Structure 1
Amino acid sequence: MKGVVATVVLIAGLAAMPTAGQAGTELDFALVNKTGYPIEEVYLSPSGTSDWQENVISGDVLEDTQVGRIAFSVGGKDRKCLWDLRVVYSDRATAEWGRLDLCSSNRITLRYDQNSGKTQAEIK
């Protein structure tokens, strides 16, 4: 994907988390792992495309209860708000969500429900 730059910083809690407005880009968000499992890979892609880009937490692991600060910017004048998110757990299982509005969200919390076997994304 042309013009997308992403970085991640793992921190211990939300108290130290700057808001999206403070971070300087409108698409930055906190990714909160409350699944009970380590997340080894996180991918973003503009909604409507079938192409996952590079792992935005490359070299890091988002442990259970950790918060990752996903900071990224989109180059060019055609800013997109709707993005798809894919995570890969340490056991190589995956979960995906589509059409997440990152222009109006600054936190995504992932929760795994063992009874249903589904992971849900709570967007704020």
Structure 2
Amino acid sequence: MKLFKSIRIFGLMALMVLTMAGTAFAGSQDFDLENGTGHTIAYIYLSPSDENAWVYQDELGPNDVLRPGESIFLTFSPRDDVRYWDIKVVYDNGKEDVWEDLDLYRIFNITIRPGGTVSIEST
């Protein structure tokens, strides 16, 4: 009887560990992007740093913009296990800025600044 109880407790503990591990890794690249540029952003593009094309295009949607001081929470598919990403924004005046090689496994908040500079909060 004690053996059965021990096995059941061990099984429950193993299940809890697996559940917590799945939660820790799911969405680990998700982050807040804050517009600290002083300009309205019309488009946001994301791509793994080793790609030559923008994989995620127009993350704001067709009718949205990101005004100065506003932020957006960007989420990733669980299939996206890439660590380093590039971000490109296009302002409402057509000018662009790009930030490269951002470690989204460590970053949870990015404040983009004019001229391609950035403030990062990471773990």
Contact 2:27 2:78 in 1 (8 A): no
CA shift digits 1:32-70 (9 cap, x unpaired): 111111001001000111111321112311100001111
Q: As a proportion of its length, which structure holds more strand? A: 1
Aligned counterpart, 1:81? 83
Which of 32, 55, 59 is matched with 1:56 structurally? 59
Aligned counterpart, 1:104? 106
Structure 2 residue runs of 5 or longer lacking an equivalent are 1-22
Aligned counterpart, 1:10? none
CA RMSD of aligned residues (A): 1.8
Contact 1:27 1:73 in 2 (8 A): no
Larger Rg: 2
CA positional deviation for 1:74: 4.3
% same residue: 32
Structure 1 residue runs of 5 or longer lacking an equivalent are 1-20, 113-117
Q: Does 1:26 align with 2:28?
A: yes
Contact 2:32 2:109 in 1 (8 A): yes
Aligned counterpart, 2:71? 67
Distance of 2:105 and 2:77 partners within structure 1: 11
Aligned counterpart, 2:117? 120
Q: As a proportion of its length, which structure holds more helix? A: 2
CA positional deviation for 1:119: 3.2
The structure with higher relative contact order (CA 8 Å, sep 6+) is: 1
Moved over 4 A (4+): none
What TM-score comes out, normalization by structure 1 length?
0.71
